[in-house]
């Protein structure tokens, strides 16, 4: 995340194919873990999010931005969600990251954001598993089987010695695609009910666009780690609010967690207070112990923050510059 390319002879242009070639799970994990730590120590700050329905194509469009003083990375991610894109052969999520020179404010790079959004989101849950899941976790539960689920599964599988994947999706016809990913990792796969998933899984990742709880508190075993990755807008909801009340709750950013994240419902119901939520960066920094017993339920509210996008975009820009695989243009 260090040494973001500065504006020399024009603006660096880093396309989607270059991002896919240069930024994999390892690079994304390191960048996201580092920026979460910087956030918790007060060295990095996200700016207020703008996210609006545009009144056309059922699309949501917005901006996430921030400044990481530790990594000297500043910029904005512009983009959103176009639900009809899949019918056009395009990814529903579309975005671009603009990086700026913190010393001058000049534009330094334009970076494709679609692949980076997928890997940084998966890296976020993977960081939470690395720091919060039980070391002896054997069964991974997946709630959701959309485009992002494959990234989530692959990243999670690198954090623990999982022996099996159990999964449920509101649209079961999508599960075979996730089964293929599990098979490529050498992991047995079983489609189950949500109740059975909660009864068997040691780690659960939810990655849906639901507006109602898909997992209930009574279905979750002691010692489970849950990474809620789908709720990033007011009104969305993936798990029972009572589950957050029963868990030790962590988040990428507490303010966003209580406003647009999974915690919004538990807070509104008076089951959870903002002060009950710990930034995951505090665990990374050693300021918070994280999991304190094998019986504790831990929950990570991954709302998706702009600094994650800037961190991975900075890595893409730096590697592209070093390897000479990006163009420069003068605006």
Positions marked active-site: 77
70 CB-side CA count, 13 A: 18
> Contact, 95 vs 308, CB < 8 A?
no
Whole-angstrom distance, CA of residue 4 vs CA of residue 311 = 10
Which of 90, 20, 14, 98 shows the shortest CA–CA distance to 59? 90
User: Exposed, middle or buried, 276 (CB in 10 Å: 0-12/13-18/19+)?
Assistant: middle
> Contact, 214 vs 238, CB < 8 A?
yes
Q: Which two tokens stand for residue 182?
A: 């599990």
What spatial distance separates the first Cα and last Cα of the chain, rounded to whole Å? 25
> Contact, 124 vs 34, CB < 8 A?
no
Whole-angstrom distance, CA of residue 294 vs CA of residue 282 = 20
Q: Which two tokens stand for residue 46?
A: 């996200």
């Amino acid at each position: 995340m260090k040494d973001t390319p500065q504006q020399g002879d024009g603006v660096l242009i880093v396309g989607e194919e270059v991002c896919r070639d240069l930024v994999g799970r390892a690079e994304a994990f390191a960048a996201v873990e580092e920026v979460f730590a910087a956030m918790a120590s007060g060295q990095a700050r996200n700016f207020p999010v703008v996210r609006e329905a545009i009144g056309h194509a059922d699309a949501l469009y917005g901006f996430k931005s921030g400044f990481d003083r530790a990594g000297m990375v500043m910029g904005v991610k512009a983009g959103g969600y176009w639900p009809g894109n899949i019918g056009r052969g395009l990814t529903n999520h579309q975005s671009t990251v603009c990086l700026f020179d913190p010393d001058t404010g000049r534009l330094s790079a334009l970076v494709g954001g679609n692949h980076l959004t997928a890997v940084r989101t998966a890296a976020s849950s993977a960081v939470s598993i690395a720091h919060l899941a039980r070391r002896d976790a054997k069964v991974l539960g997946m709630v959701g089987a959309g485009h992002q689920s494959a990234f989530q599964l692959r990243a999670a599988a690198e954090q623990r010695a999982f022996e099996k994947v159990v999964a449920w999706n509101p649209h079961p016809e999508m599960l075979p695609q996730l089964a293929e990913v599990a098979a490529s990792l050498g992991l047995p796969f079983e489609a189950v009910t949500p109740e059975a998933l909660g009864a068997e899984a040691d780690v659960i990742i939810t990655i849906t666009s639901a507006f109602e709880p898909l997992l209930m508190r009574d279905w979750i075993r002691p010692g489970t780690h849950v990474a809620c990755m789908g709720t990033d807008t007011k009104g969305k909801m993936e798990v029972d609010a009572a589950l957050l009340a029963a868990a030790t709750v962590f988040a990428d950013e507490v303010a966003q967690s209580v406003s647009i994240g999974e915690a919004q419902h538990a807070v509104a119901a008076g089951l959870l207070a903002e002060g009950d939520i710990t930034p995951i960066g505090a665990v990374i920094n050693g300021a918070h112990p994280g999991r304190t017993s094998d019986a504790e339920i831990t929950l990570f509210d991954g709302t998706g923050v702009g600094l994650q996008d800037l961190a991975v975009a900075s890595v893409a820009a730096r590697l592209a510059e070093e390897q000479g695989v990006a163009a420069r243009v003068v605006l």
